[in-house]
A and B are shown apart, each in its own frame.
Chain A
Amino acid sequence: MKSTANNSSLDAFLKERLKSSDENFQPFDWSEVEVLLKHEKSSVPVRISKQNILIAAAAAGVLILAFSIFRLVQYYSTLPAATEVLTDSTQNSFSIIDTNKTASPDSAVHKADFSAIDSSAIAIKKKKTDSIATPEVAPKVTQDSFGESSVKKVNDKEIPSVVKTTPKQDKKKKQDTIQKAVAPDTASAKVIADTTSKPAPKEVVIETPSVPDTADKKLAAEGTGSKKKKSKAKKGGLPSPPADQKTDTPVAKPDSLKR
């Protein structure tokens, strides 16, 4: 504690001595200050600290990086080989669609990236085959120009652009399109309808030449039952017709019997 007390007294002593204003200095020449003031007025105050230099360097680095990345992107985007591949793939995909006059069910295919067209072209082909097998897909793609043109060419009629259709509606539309396609020949349509509705006439036609069948049967029966006939002939009785022949004759010629 003694030391602290002494220290505090010494501190106070030093403080007093330092604060005292008994010291005089020879003033510097005023011209020095004047020069400084003139220099200050003429020069633009720019402080270049380490932080400013670092920030400027970082900004320059970022700019250079951005420029180099931009140049790289530009270079790769303008490569001829890449563009050829891209254009070929796109043209192929579009030409396939045009020739088959079918549309891909997804309109998003056209919006997809060109890089993914090679893979999507296969998918389009698959879908094409499906669409050819089942024409119900065609009305779905009405937004695309391809779909519309193909639909027009197929049906020679304008179809309203309805995108969303339920399976039931599709079936109905399918039936309608089939009917419309066949609609110009109403007579033939009726004939077809009659043929489809009525039972097959072959059955009737087949019934008339039923005799040869029975004859064949007779011949077959003769082959098997010749021994029996011979035995009956030996007995002296007339040869009686077989049971099948008796039943078939009235059925085969009903009209002749009546007459």
Chain B
Amino acid sequence: MTEEELISGCLQHDPAAQRDLYLQYFNRSMRIGVRYSKNSQEAKVILLDGFKNILNRFKNYVELNAKREKNTPPVSLEEWIKNEIIASAVQHMHDNKKHHFVSSTISMRDSEKQTDQERSDEQIMKSCDKQMIVKALQQLTPSYRTIYNLHEVEGYSHTEISRLLDISEYISKDSLLKAKFNLRKNISRLIPK
């Protein structure tokens, strides 16, 4: 099925079109879900919630492109699905808020210790693979993980993050610094000596 056929089929709630869309975008969506979750089970929940929203609100995608200004390029289906999965991950984090946003006990003075860190950075760049990085990322607190993903991978600004997560920009910046430090620490812990 072509993208246009998928869109028209999903608009008419055609099960075949919906199944094709799911299978076509599953891998890309799962990669996003894994980065925002602490394990594969949570990633599955995020993904299923995301696809449920996508298939139920498929009309929004058509309206979004219809309402856009003439100068702006149209939103691709992949981009819209990606945004929906991210929104689902953020919503999942908000739903389980009491477990999230745990203040980090790591002081910033620890990050200034450069004696062993330089070596470890080089070692990280040489020896770590993607799975290791994802695992280290999943060990972060949900707030740090989300902020790190949004800023570093998706390219969101601190203003956008603060708006999306309902936090101040300062907290977003501070959380990003702590997330980076913790990620590095987790990776160095995962690398075998």
- Interface of A toward B, CB cutoff 8 Å: 2-3, 6-7, 9-11, 13-15, 17-25, 27-28, 30, 32-34, 36-37, 40
Taking a contact as CB atoms under 8 Å apart, the answer to whether A23 and B31 are in contact is yes
Q: Nearest chain B CB to A25's CB is how many angstroms away?
A: 4
Q: Mark B6-28, 1 if CB is under 8 A from A, else 0.
A: 00000000010011001100111
Q: Are A33 and B22 in contact (CB under 8 A)?
A: yes
Question: Could you tell me if B118 and A2 are in contact, using CB atoms closer than 8 angstroms?
Answer: yes
Contact B125 A7 (CB under 8 A): no
Is the beta-carbon distance between A25 and B26 smaller than 8 angstroms?
yes
Write 24 A-B pairs (CB below 8 A) sorted by A numbering.
A6-B121, A9-B121, A9-B125, A10-B121, A14-B183, A15-B152, A15-B153, A17-B130, A18-B133, A18-B134, A18-B152, A21-B31, A22-B130, A23-B27, A23-B31, A24-B27, A25-B26, A25-B31, A28-B26, A33-B18, A36-B48, A36-B51, A36-B52, A37-B18
In contact, A20 and B184 (Cβ under 8 angstroms): no
Partner of A34 from the list B15, B153, B184 (CB cut-off 8 Å) is: B15
* Number of residues on chain B facing chain A (CB within 8 A): 39
Q: Give 18 A-B pairs besides A3-B114, A25-B34, A40-B52 with Cβ atoms closer than 8 angstroms.
A: A2-B118, A3-B117, A10-B121, A11-B152, A13-B124, A15-B153, A17-B133, A21-B27, A23-B131, A24-B27, A27-B26, A30-B19, A30-B22, A30-B23, A33-B48, A33-B55, A36-B48, A37-B52
User: Chain B residues near A7 (CB, 8 Å)?
Assistant: 121, 180, 184
A13 to B180, CA, bound (A): 12
Closest-by-CB residue of A relative to B125 is A13
On chain A, the residues within 8 Å of B56 by CB distance are 37, 40
A-B contact count (CB 8 A): 83
Complex interface: chain B residues within 8 A of A37 (CB): 18, 52, 55-56
Residue in A3, A18, A24, A33 whose beta carbon sits within 8 Å of that of B153 in the complex: A18
Contacts of A11 in B (CB 8 A): 152, 180
Where chain A touches its partner, the secondary structure class is helix
B178 at the interface (CB under 8 A from A): no
CA distance A18 to B179 in the complex (A): 15
Residues of A within 8 A of B137 (CB): 18
- A40 and B55 CA atoms in complex are apart in Å by 11
- What CA separation (Å) do A122 and B179 show in the bound complex? 84
B interface, CB within 8 angstroms of A: 15, 18-19, 22-23, 26-28, 30-31, 34-35, 44, 47-48, 51-52, 55-56, 112, 114, 117-118, 121, 124-125, 128-131, 133-134, 137, 149, 152-153, 180, 183-184
A207 to B15, CA, bound (A): 141
- Tell me, rounded to whole Å, the shortest Cβ–Cβ distance linking A91 to chain B: 68
Does A18 lie within 8 Å of B130, measured CB to CB?
yes
Quick check: B52 and A3 within 8 Å, CB to CB? no
Bound state CA distance, A182 and B166, in angstroms?
A: 95
Say yes or no: A28 contacts B118, CB within 8 Å.
Answer: no
A165 to B172, CA, bound (A): 81
Contact indicator A14/B28 (Cβ below 8 Å): no
Closest 6 A/B residue pairs (Cβ): A25-B30, A27-B26, A36-B52, A6-B121, A3-B114, A17-B130
Given contacts A28-B48, A33-B52, contact A10 B125 (CB under 8 A): yes
Contacts of B47 in A (CB 8 A): 28
In the complex, what residues of B have CB within 8 A of residue A14's CB? 133, 152, 183
Measured CB to CB, the nearest residue on chain A to B40 is A25
Kindly state the separation between the CA atoms of A20 and B51 in the bound complex, as whole angstroms.
22
